[in-house]
Amino acid sequence: MDLSRWAQLDTTSDAWYFGIWANKGKRQVLKYIEGDIYFVEADSDESYDAEIEALCRFHEPAPAAIAIDETSETRFFQNRAELFIDPARAAACGADQLPALNETEES
C-alpha cells in the first residue's frame, strides 16, 4: 500500500481505536472504528466526493495543532477541501471554510 497517497481526515473522534483515511487518486476511503475496518471503493468521482462530504458533515473537525502564547490561542485546522476531487463539492459542505494550517483564528 502506497501510504503517500493516503490522507487522514482529522476529527474530534480520533483515537487509537478510531481513524478515517482517504485516497482521492484511487477513490478509496478506509475507516477503522473500534477494531472494525470499513473500506469504501467509489466507482466514480461523484460517489467518492459524496462519501467525503458525508464524513465532513458528520465528523466535527479537530484542530491539527494549537499554539498558545501570553495573549491568544491560535487553532490550526486540516484543509478538508484537499480531500475532494471536485472543489465545488468541498464548498457545498463548508470544508473550505475553516482556517487551514497556514491561517489562524484567534480567540
Domain boundaries along the sequence of the chain: 3-92
pLDDT at 14 over 80: yes
Q: Which residue has the cell 482521492?
A: 24
Banded pLDDT at 107 (limits 50, 70, 90): very low
User: Which letter does DSSP use for residue 49 in this model?
Assistant: H
Cell of 79: 484543509
Burial (0-12, 13-18, 19+ Cβ within 10 Å), 49: buried
Q: What is the pLDDT of residue 104?
A: 47
- The amino acid present at 98, given as its one-letter code, is L
**Residue 39 backbone phi and psi in degrees, to 5:** -120, 125
Contact 68, 62 (CB under 8 A): no
Question: Tens of pLDDT along 27-86?
Answer: 999 999 999 999 999 999 999 999 999 999 999 888 888 999 999 998 888 888 899 999
pTM of the model: 0.79
pLDDT at 4 over 80: no
